[in-house]
Structure 1
Amino acid sequence: MPMLKEPGRKYRPFPTINLPDRQWPSRVIERAPRWLSTDLRDGNQSIIDPMDAVKKNRFFDLLVEIGVKEIEVGFPSAGKTEFDFISSLVHSDRIPDDVLVQVLTQSRADLIARSFESLEGARAAIVHLYNAVSPAWREIVFRMSQSEVKDIAISGAKLLRDEAAKRPDTDWHFQYSPETFSTAELDFSLEVCEAVMDVLQPTPEHPIILNLPATVEAATPNIYADQIEYFCRNLPRRDAAVISLHTHNDRGTGVAAAELGLMAGADRVEGCLFGNGERTGNCCLVTVALNMYTQGVDPELDFSDIDKVIETVEYCNQLPVPARHPYGGELVFTAFSGSHQDAIKKGFEAQSQRNDEEWRVPYLPIDPADLGRNYEAVIRVNSQSGKGGFAWVLEQGQGLKLPKKLQANFSRHVQDMADEVGRELNADDIWNCFQRAYFIGAEDATFELVDYEETRASDGTRLFAGTITVGGKAQKVSGRGKGLVSSVLTTLRQTFGLELDVVDYTEHALSKGTDARAAAYLECALPSGETVWGVGIDEDVASASVRAILSAANGAVRDSKG
């Protein structure tokens, strides 16, 4: 069936919230919220093959390592695997003292009892009770009235209270979710949550967690923020409740909804690493946390080795982290476009010269090094790339700092290779291309240096005397000039009839220390008016300049052959 020409006949716009004095738009996030990972529950139930105990334990250890202090470890009444994993966590003494584990249960007596049994002997734990409250669920799924739905929540809360009382040695915390909150009537959600609070009697010192989920994301994130602010304003005993957010990503704005919800007064964010979850996924905790980080706020989660986090998540979920996923994707710090590459290259150069620590590099909102990524993958070269891209790659990999005019000269060689191979060029490709273009160790070089000596004559001129191979055969040559470069040029002119005039010359060290190598770059003019470039690399800067001249000579011979 094709898409409708008049979708308004089938779908209705989500109603707005009457909150004319809303405050959240002028607020900013200034501190980290409480974080709850639901990877082992919501994330686990949404993958093709649920995690076994080995994967669950590995994921749990990762969450602890990166600093998550509240972890929903499963749905113990769902089956033996879930129950045994939760129970083993408790009895193996693997839960750090500063970490709270959480389990989920529907509002049914047998399921609640089973949930408490799984946590038997825990130092502290959260039991999370939920039931759906929105009209669609009430009328279509349950066929219940508002009062009947509220009674389900109340009876479940009483069971939480009574089961906890049987186990006084555990520090019990309670969470209640009016599931489908974002599509329910706000005043009814408040009514149900207040009734649950009346049963459990939370205090500011021991608050209840009220989770307000966008179980199905049905509106723009500003409407969700309005719902959260309205709820926070009108909840009695607000100081005895922690407001938690559980956003899904059906509209692609789960992260935005969570961020605006925090501005609207929420205290806690629930989600999964890299956004795994039902349908289009949950809020991505990595994205929300690192968004804060880029605004100068410590998220209190550590992603210093984001590739290790990705490796574990992909192993446990058997789902790839998309290449363009914020912060973690393989390509999120990578530029292929020539203009982007040029801006990034200049940004890094400016960053290295500034005295302050402020990060200011175009196209990179965060320093990849903060996440354990190296700079080699920042700029990658394909047929869309410009001269700044391969220049960056050569500088990072080989230490070469090509003059701008040489970059332009080499650009045509790179483009020819990219068009020929039809794929991205890696660092080895570019280096091999550079060596061929400028006859660095190339077998097809017409002239190649074997050795030489430089002496000063009584009139102050320099004498170059050496051995070079010409077409593979060694030949003694010599020439005189005002300096080493001019004496080599004289040698080429007198011996081989090759006319080269130096237009530009630069050199630099490739590394520091006694074994430092040097690179020399030489632009020469031919009698025809065309120019040719030479590059020389050697342990000795003088020898590097000689090699650069011979490189240019090789280029002139190649060009003359067409």
Structure 2
Amino acid sequence: MSDRVFIFDTTLRDGEQSPGATMNQLEKLRIARQLESMGVDIIEAGFPAASDGDFCSVREIARSVEKCQVAGLCRAVPSDIDRAWEAIREAAHPRIHTFIATSPLHMKHKLQKEPAQVLEMAQRAVRHACGYTANVEFSAEDASRSEWDFLARITEAVIDCGATTVNIPDTVGYAQPDEFAELIRYLRANVRNIDRAIISVHCHNDLGLAVANTMAAIRAGARQAEVTLSGIGERAGNAALEEVVMNLNTRRNFFEVEHGIDTKMLFPACRLLSHIIGQPIPPNKAVTGANAFAHESGIHQDGVLKDRRTYEIMTPESVGRVGTDMVLGKHSGRHAIKRKLDELGYRLSEEDVTLVADAMKRLADIKKTIYDEDLEAIVLEEVFRIPDRFRLNHLTVHSGTTGVPATAAVILDVNGEERKLAQFGVGPVDATFNTIAEIIGLKPSLERFQINAISGGTDALGEVTVKIREGSRSAVGRGADPDIIIASAKAYINAMNRLAKKTEETSECPAP
């Protein structure tokens, strides 16, 4: 049995199914490059058959990533498999990941098929996928609630058909660690050809046990862990990449396995994801949260001052959590900015570096010091965004305690045409949103409005995240600015642009 655990990241597929975690193609590509730099073994780039937009994103990631495998997820259906291969075929190391449910509940009520039919579908799917590539993964959806003997039969059958990885998912987070480990041991003991495939696990966090179940499975012989950055994903999420990796690192003598992740990139990667999806890392989040290395108790502080190992089982530096450097300002040159961008892992064109440098200097006129987080926010705001149909040219807001309703005057660029309007609202943000909506001609409902400070200080950049809905379509928008009202306007317009983009998706990325 291999002593290497392969890290399979599904942030861009399962992670994006987390409410509010939608990313555009450029943002997905940025995450993929970060994962590649970190040393992830396999990136599950998406579900190509789900939509034309997903197909395009998977295809672009497959073309761009060189060092790690790129997987496309597909049902055990020939047309899905064909579509997945079309998306990943240009990857340096493509993988087809096909799945079908194997629990009695799913087979009866969702698939409405008998076990024998499911077994046959799985075999046909793997054979079909192997016609494209030898790198095929099969997943038995809802494996933790499947009958063990049937799970062993279907696992053995798909390996005979050519699957080189078999994934045993705890799809609804139902399993307990001891029970899940026993299932892995059972498969290793009862699947005749198990030595010809890698056992993978994909654990959900519905009962808060995703990481615990993953670690138990690795102890029992699983050698691929399917994870996401910060544990984002469907419902309560997935096993968090950073937690699984630091368990393996911190308890190396216990697990006795290796991995290829550069742990110093864990915090920067999670922070990047946080900026992109507009969801802050919770302060008490293990490994990457703001409190992970904070000590309030006097006894703890005394111990840490004498020897950090008394109350810290890993160092902040080991996960890339270092003090924020105040390295840039209004007099910083373009080369210094480019060097800092390179350090943060951004591969930008000369044109984009100039765009970021100009925006940074505008910010430096308002804000004394520029932190890494500020620079990342500028990159996300200026570079990694969809082309704008709507762009803010000017905003003036009047608000106070005089009894006069808040007023917003907005000048907006709409498809190259300048439009002006002023409207009232119950407050400055409401007035701003009302005016923008009236100019654009859409009046979506606002489902979420969230404000975060990107860095410290009263002059910190404020980041606003909004989620809007128009009928059956929804979109998340983000905006950053030292002025929180302007940040709100940018976020709302960004969401409007994303909403408009969704209607154009099919024509922009037609089926091949």
Give the TM-score, by structure 1 length. Answer: 0.54
Asked if structure 2 preserves the Cα contact closer than 8 Å seen for 1:176 and 1:210, the reply is yes
Shift of 1:60: 0.4
Q: Confirm or deny: 8 A CA contact 1:58 1:312 kept in the other structure.
A: no
Change beyond 3 A, Cα 1:49–1:81: same
Matched residue SS, 1:77: coil
Amino acid at match of 1:235: V
Separation in structure 1 between the aligned mates of residue 315 and residue 303 of structure 2, nearest angstrom: 15
Instruction: Give the Cα separation in 2 of the matches to 1:135 and 1:37.
Output: 28
Q: Contact between 1:75 and 1:105, CA under 8 Å: does it hold in 2?
A: yes
Q: 1:144-179: per-residue Cα shift (whole Å, max 9, x none)?
A: 2211221221222232234x1xxxxxx540000111
**Preserved CA contact (<8 Å) 1:47 1:317:** no
DSSP-derived class of the 2:310 partner: coil
Q: Structure 1 residues 234 and 345 mapped into 2: Cα distance closer, same or farther (>3 Å)?
A: same
Within 5 Å, give how 1:63-212 maps onto structure 2.
63-91=35-63, 94-96=64-66, 98-162=67-131, 164=132, 172-200=134-162, 208-212=164-168
Distance in 1 (alpha carbons) for counterparts of 2:175 and 2:38: 32
SS of residue in 1 equivalent to 2:79 = helix
Q: 1:300: which partner in 2? A: 260
Match of 1:216 in 2: 172
Give unmatched runs, 5+ long, in structure 1. Answer: 1-28, 165-170, 203-207, 349-360, 377-562
1:284 and 1:95 map into 2 onto residues whose CA distance is 22
Residue 232 (structure 1) aligned with residue 183 (structure 2):
no
Structure 2 residue 317 is the aligned partner of structure 1 residue 369: yes
- Which one scores higher on RCO, CA 8 angstroms, separation ≥ 6? 2
Q: Which amino acid letter does the alignment assign opposite residue 331 of structure 1?
A: N
Give the C-alpha shift of residue 50 in structure 1.
1.7
CA separation in 1, counterparts of 2:16 and 2:206? Answer: 18
Counterparts of 1:318 and 1:100 in 2: how far apart (Å)?
28
Conservation of the 8 A alpha-carbon contact between 2:98 and 2:125: yes
2: CA distance between counterparts of 1:217 and 1:90?
30
Q: SS at 1:156's partner residue?
A: helix
Q: CA contact under 8 A between 1:247 and 1:282: conserved in structure 2?
A: yes
1:60 aligns with 2:39: no
Task: Please state whether the residue corresponding to 2:30 is helix, strand or coil.
Answer: helix
Where 1:332 maps in the other structure, the secondary structure is coil
Q: 1:109 to 1:375 in 2, by over 3 A?
A: closer
Partner of 2:12: 40
Residues 374 and 157 of structure 1, relative CA distance in 2, 3 Å threshold: closer
Runs of 4+ in 1 over 4 A off after TM superposition: 29-32
Contact 2:88 2:95 in 1 (8 A): no
3-state SS, counterpart of residue 78 of structure 1:
coil
| In 2, Cα distance between equivalents of 1:307 and 1:240 | 35
Matched ranges for 1:312-331 at <5 A: 312-331=272-291
CA distance in 2, matches of 1:287, 1:49: 20
The reply to whether residue 342 of structure 1 matches residue 302 of structure 2 is yes
Alignment of 1:452-531 (within 5 A): none
Q: Name the counterpart of 1:417.
A: none
The Cα RMSD (Å) is 2.2
Whether the 8 Å CA contact 1:59–1:316 is kept in 2: the answer is no
Greater shift in the superposed pair: 150-159 or 268-277:
150-159
Q: Is the 8 A contact 1:221 1:253 kept in 2?
A: yes
Aligned residue number for residue 483 of structure 2:
none
The 3 A distance-change label for structure 1 pair 88 and 333 is same
Secondary structure in 1 matching 2:13: helix
Conservation of the 8 A alpha-carbon contact between 2:72 and 2:84: yes
SS at match of 2:303: helix
The answer (yes or no) to whether the contact 1:44–1:317 under 8 Å persists in 2 is: no
Structure 2: unaligned runs, 5 residues or longer: 325-512
Distance (Å, rounded) in 2 between the aligned partners of 1:255 and 1:370: 20
Question: In 2, distance between residues paired with 1:300 and 1:122?
Answer: 20
Farther off after superposition, 171-180 or 312-321: 312-321
- Aligned-partner residue type, residue 8 of structure 2: L
Residues 177 and 212 in structure 2, CA contact (< 8 A), matched pair in contact too: yes
Following the alignment from structure 1 to structure 2, what is the Cα–Cα distance between the partners of residues 266 and 231?
10
Q: 1:560 maps to which residue? A: none
State the TM-score, normalized to the length of structure 2.
0.60
Secondary structure (helix, strand or coil) at the match of 2:161 reads helix
Separation in 2, partners of 1:252, 1:329: 17
Cα distance in structure 2, aligned partners of 1:214 and 1:306:
25
Hey, what's the Cα distance between the residues in 1 that align with 2:147 and 2:62? Answer: 39
2-side partners of 1:311 and 1:368: how far apart? 14
Q: Which residue of 2 aligns with 1:309?
A: 269
Deviations 1:243-301 (A, max 9, x none): 01111111111111111101111111111011111111111111111112112475421
Equivalent AA in structure 1 for residue 312 of structure 2: L
Cα drift, residue 372 of structure 1: 3.4
Q: Contact 1:67–1:300 at 8 Å: present in 2 too?
A: yes
User: Which whole-Å CA distance do the structure 2 matches of 1:30 and 1:340 have between them?
Assistant: 40
| Distance in 2, Cα, partners of 1:121 & 1:33 | 26
Deviations 1:179-208 (A, max 9, x none): 1000101110111122222333x6xxxxx1
Residue type matched to 2:321 in 1? R
Distance 2:77 2:266 in 1: 40
